[in-house]
Amino acid sequence: MRRIFFLISLSALIVVSCGKSAKYELRADILGANNLVFDLKIIENNRMVTIDSAISKNDGFVMKGSLDYPRAVILEARNTPYQTSFYMDNSNIQLKGILDSLDRMEITGSGIHDDYLSLSDAVQPVGLEYTEYVNQYQIARQKNDEAMMAEYENRADSVYQLFIDLQERFVRDNPSSFFSPIILASLMNYLDVTKIEELVNDLAPEVAAIPPMIGLKESLVKLKLVSVGQKAPDFTLNDPDGNPVSLYSKVGTKLLLVDFWAGWCGPCRQENPNVVKVYNDFKNRGFDVFGVSLDRTKDEWTNAIANDKLTWTHVSDLQYWNSAAAQLYSINSIPANFLLDENGTIIARDLRGEDLYNKVREILQ
């Protein structure tokens, strides 16, 4: 079962440009906030930085300044547990709410935040539907009802695809929106590289020229190196016994699945039975698996191997997301996999469940 990501989360914190000369005016009306100090913060280099502050008088305050780029900001009531996050640009922005429910405050006047809300409204029912299918899948799994498990897995996967489609459509329909680069960055691992490249090329010039697009384009170059049709890059990591094993020491079998996973990853563990089935059914016909773990501890890694009965070759450097192999293959989410032919050429990627089984059967039958 695929894992759905709410890709438009404010945690993306990707900034977009509108010109340094522009100014913002932030006016707030917050009931119950009299005589409190409010701090406006951004995240830079993984650190929280205060860019503005104001004292609330008669439950209101005004902040004036300039952002180099519209960006995600955090508004905190100092020395209280209350805060909220939103997207902000250089414009006249109004905030209205109640102190003890600051995270539900009404925000108007920010174009980039309006775009965020528009897409959020569109995907919210999809997310709720996905959650319901996942819950039903778990119930079926507890009952060992394989038919219902398959049913809800298929439904969840269909909803997952709809979720991706909605975000892709937003970018296609809004090439001039400064929110589109944020969506594109989140979709990098969910769309074909050629489709991402097409979306990037279709952006309005003023959007395509912003600094965050530099990093996105660099990531796109890296993704193209591990796209379908490319020769898989070789790497060497240690197996659980500490022996170095290279990927290309396993290349040569008719099909090799390079499987990125981790013991701590719930969706990976849910997918493992599907991989086990494919392995058991086709291992004598030229199919093999090369497991690459993003675990942090050896015990976490080896216990998951044993519990899930994963009897193929496993390697890891136990570096979590800093895994050398994960960096080489531009892995930003797991489970992720690459199907290689006998020459080490990538012929498919991110196949799961029935899709993986059918693809392997098609080639090896």
Please state the three-class secondary structure of 84-95 as a single string: EEEEECCCEEEE
For the cut 90, the answer to whether the pLDDT of residue 325 exceeds it is yes
Tell me the backbone φ, ψ of residue 240, rounded to 5 degrees: -60, -20
Q: Report if residue 71 sits inside a domain.
A: yes
Q: Which two tokens stand for residue 266?
A: 């719930």
Residue 305: strand, helix, or coil: helix
2 domain-assigned: no
Q: Could you give the number of structural domains in the chain?
A: 3
Residue 5, pLDDT above cutoff 90: no
Q: Which tokens is 141 given?
A: 């799994």
Residue 132 counted as domain residue: yes
Instruction: Residue 72: give its domain's CATH number.
Output: 2.60.40
Query: What length is written for the chain?
Result: 365
| pLDDT tens column, 279-303 | 999 999 999 999 999 999 999 999 9
Of 178, 195, 225, which residue is a domain's last?
Answer: 225
Shared-domain flag, residues 260 and 340:
yes
Per-residue pLDDT at 111? 93
87/116 Cα distance (integer angstroms): 8
Count the Cβ atoms, other than its own, within 10 Å of residue 102. 23
- On whether both 91 and 119 belong to a single domain, the answer is no
* Coil, strand or helix at 309: coil
Cβ distance 315 to 292 under 8 Å?
A: yes
Kindly state whether residue 1 falls inside one of the protein's structural domains: no
Q: How many helices (H) and strands (E) does the chain have?
A: 10, 15
> What is the reported pLDDT for 15?
36
- What gap in Å lies between CA 141 and CA 131, rounded to an integer? 15
On whether residue 230 sits in a domain, the answer given is no
Q: Is the pLDDT of residue 17 over 70?
A: no
Domain contains 52: yes
Is residue 267 a contact partner of residue 3, using CB atoms and an 8 Å limit?
Answer: yes
Residue-averaged pLDDT of the chain:
90
Q: Are residues 101 and 117 in the same domain?
A: no
Report percent pLDDT > 70 for the chain.
Answer: 94
**Is the bond preceding 70 in cis, omega lying within 30 degrees of 0?**
no
Domain that holds residue 142: 113-225
Does 4 map to a domain? no
CA distance 50 to 76: 10
pLDDT for position 190: 83
Extract the tokens encoding 148: 């219902």
Looking at the structure, do residues 248 and 300 belong to the same domain, yes or no?
Answer: yes
- Domain co-membership, 167 together with 197: yes
Q: Which residue has the higher pLDDT, 268 or 8?
A: 268
CATH of the domain at 286: 3.40.30.10
Highest mean pLDDT among 41-45, 69-73, 337-341 belongs to: 337-341
Residues 270 and 203 in one domain: no
Q: Are strands 24-31 and 287-293 parallel, antiparallel or unpaired?
A: unpaired
311 pLDDT band, cuts 50/70/90, is very high
- Please tell me the predicted confidence (pLDDT) of residue 18: 39
Within this chain, do residues 156 and 251 fall inside the same structural domain, yes or no? Answer: no
Contact 348, 257 (CB under 8 A): no
Nearest CA-CA partner of 197 in 187, 207, 210: 187
What's residue 154's pLDDT? 86
Neighbours of 261 (CB within 10 A): 28
Query: Per-residue DSSP letters for 116-150?
Result: HHHHHHHHHHHHHHHHHHHHHHHHHHHTT-HHHHH
| Distance in angstroms (rounded) separating the CA atoms of residues 140 and 150 | 9
Q: How far is CA 40 from the centre of its chain?
A: 26
**pLDDT (0 to 100) of residue 11:** 39
Where does the pLDDT of residue 64 fall: very low under 50, low under 70, confident under 90, or very high at 90 and above?
A: very high
Domain membership of residue 3 (yes or no) is no
Give tens-digit pLDDT for 88-122.
Answer: 999 999 999 999 999 999 999 999 999 999 999 99
Residue closest to 352 by CA, chosen among 300, 277, 299:
277
d(CA 112, CA 178): 6
According to the model, what pLDDT value does residue 21 have? Answer: 55
Q: Are residues 215 and 320 in the same domain?
A: no
Cβ contact 173:183 at 8 Å:
no
Going by the DSSP 8-state scheme, the letter that residue 234 receives in this structure is P
Indicate if the pLDDT at residue 158 is higher than 50. Answer: yes
**pLDDT value, residue 351:** 92
Looking at the structure, do residues 65 and 93 belong to the same domain, yes or no? yes
Pair (219, 265) in one structural domain:
no
Question: CA of 332: how far to CAs of 199, 213, 219, 223, 224, in Å?
Answer: 20, 18, 11, 11, 15
Quick one: 82 and 189 in the same domain?
no
Token duo for residue 87: 């997207």
Q: Is the pLDDT of residue 7 over 50?
A: no
Answer yes or no: do 309 and 194 share one domain: no
Domain boundary among 110, 144, 176: 110
Percent of all residues in the chain with a pLDDT value above 90, rounded to a whole number: 75
Q: Which of 225, 259, 288 is the last residue of a domain?
A: 225
How does pLDDT run across 184-199, given as a tens digit for each residue? 988 887 888 889 999 9
Residue 322, phi-psi category: left (phi > 0), alpha (psi -120 to 50), beta (remainder)? alpha
